[in-house]
Chains A and B, each alone.
Chain A
């Protein structure tokens, strides 16, 4: 069974630009969550999508947004990039409920110059 895939793996942008990251969950998984990982803050929850609806949201500004498609693939978008947005963005998928295990993708490393 293929794991969670994320594209692109590496991205370099400049301040003020916007970026879109993509995540394809494990086949059969309907929940996709996004996390930001930085050396200072560790892993922080961004949001979760289930059946094309945002089910949970973390404490990030509105510049961070996401969506989920009918095939469960998800995208997250960051607008007006800031230097502090440089991080590893991780996507995790699970079947559906809170009791299910979450499996992480390899992440997209975003560098903002």
Chain B
């Protein structure tokens, strides 16, 4: 079992829809949870950074962490064509320590105008 699971299937939604992405993980020592956005041929860009369980909102983006279920989510409201990208979940802490990030495989999101 991989430490971080993210169903890598592509996701197509119409403009204005809510995009829902999620990851599960097996390492209960993970404490810090992130979502990165990666455009084609670019490096990952940090979108959301959350410590432990709870919700965090930033504009149209909401990140949720449920440590009891080992489940994290990202919601994008009022999706725009410019949101079309690959979204990667990442986490760290515990066995990894320091700055070693464990990533999910990523979801390619396409927002159709």
Contacts and interface: CB of A to CB of B under 8 A. Distances in A.
Interface in A41-62: 42-45, 48, 50, 55-56, 58
9 contacts: A4-B43, A31-B98, A45-B102, A48-B98, A55-B98, A99-B32, A101-B49, A102-B46, A104-B36
Given A42-B104, A101-B49, A104-B36, A56 B43 contact: no
B43 A48 contact: no
B88 A43 contact: yes
Interface string A27-50: 000010101000000111100101
Interface residues of A, number: 29
A64 interface: no
Contacts of B35: none
Contacts of B36: 104
A98 B46 contact: no
Given A56-B98, A101-B49, A104-B36, 10 more contacts: A4-B43, A33-B101, A42-B103, A42-B105, A43-B88, A44-B103, A56-B100, A90-B43, A104-B46, A107-B42
Interface in A66-113: 90, 92, 94, 97-107, 109
Contacts, number: 69
Contacts of B43: 4, 6, 90, 104-107
* A interface majority secondary structure: strand
Contacts of B103: 35, 42-44
Interface of B: 32, 34, 36, 41-46, 49, 51, 88, 90, 92-93, 96-106
A94 B49 CA distance: 14
Contacts of A48: 98-100
B84 to A, nearest CB: 18
A88 B88 CA distance: 15
Given A98-B92, A98-B93, A104-B36, A45 B44 contact: no
